[in-house]
Amino acid sequence: MKKIILIFSIIFSIFISAQTATEIIDKNIENSGGLTNWKLLNTVQIQGRVTLGVNDEYPIKIYQQRPNLSKTAMVVGGKETPVEGYDGKNGYAMNYAQNKLQQYNDYIPENFDNDFIDWENKGFEAKFLGKEKINDQLYFKVELTKNVNKTIYYFDVRTYMLFREIKKDEILTYSDYKKVGQLLMPYRIESSSPKKDSDYVMTINKIEVNKELPKNTFKF
């Protein structure tokens, strides 16, 4: 009898955990603009500055288009110099040792949508890990798992906005959310890694959505 009760307790706790994770993700999507508005998003243009280290600061522009087209460019002397992107077939990234853009046939592009949108259909499993305090602020902690890849997300317990994303080799911290059309987007993104060799802070000045991009935008 005790074994049966224990089994039902485990099943019940797993069910509650999954439901809680789902509710947190759904609330984040709802509070940041709603599922319909996120799915209607087709293009994004970002202008801002990236700070590397203490004093190295560069103007940047980022272009993204559904389903997975992307380009990140440094702006030097008013001229855009691509440093990374995906044209639909191949990926590109700056080889700083040779100071030139290099093509990568095995480049894996990021999804245009974040992992929260239709996460179940994408093959993710969600698990609620409880609450955690960071700098006196309390956050919901949710883990998304797909195959062997795990990512931990921290959501503000009051607003449900995403605060932090912990990947295998990078930690991203989001803040300064502002409304862009019907959506809420972060205007400050901090990245840190164990090796500290690629840390940066991105301060965004302007975000434009659903503007038609020139056909050569993703030509490298």
13 compared with 59, residue with greater pLDDT: 59
Whether the upstream peptide bond of residue 67 has omega within 30° of 0, thus cis, is yes
60-75 pLDDT per residue, tens: 999 999 999 999 999 9
Listed range (13-17, 97-101, 168-172, 216-220) with the worst mean pLDDT = 13-17
The pLDDT score that the predictor gives to residue 11 is: 43
In this predicted structure, the answer to whether residue 57 has a pLDDT above a threshold of 80 is yes
Q: Is the pTM of this model over 0.75?
A: yes
In this predicted structure, the answer to whether residue 2 has a pLDDT above a threshold of 70 is no
105-124 pLDDT per residue, tens: 888 898 899 999 999 999 99
Phi-psi region of 176 (alpha: psi -120 to 50; beta: other; left: phi over 0): left
In this predicted structure, the answer to whether residue 85 has a pLDDT above a threshold of 60 is yes
Helices marked H in the chain — which ranges? 2-31, 35-39
For the chain, strand residue ranges (E) read 43-52, 56-65, 69-76, 79-86, 91-95, 100-104, 125-134, 137-146, 149-156, 162-166, 171-180, 183-192, 200-209
Q: How confident is the model at residue 155 (pLDDT cuts 50, 70, 90)?
A: very high
Q: How confident is the model at residue 52 (pLDDT cuts 50, 70, 90)?
A: confident
What pairing do the DSSP bridges indicate for beta strands 43-52 and 125-134? Answer: unpaired
What does the alpha-carbon distance between residue 110 and residue 43 come to, in Å, rounded to a whole number? Answer: 14
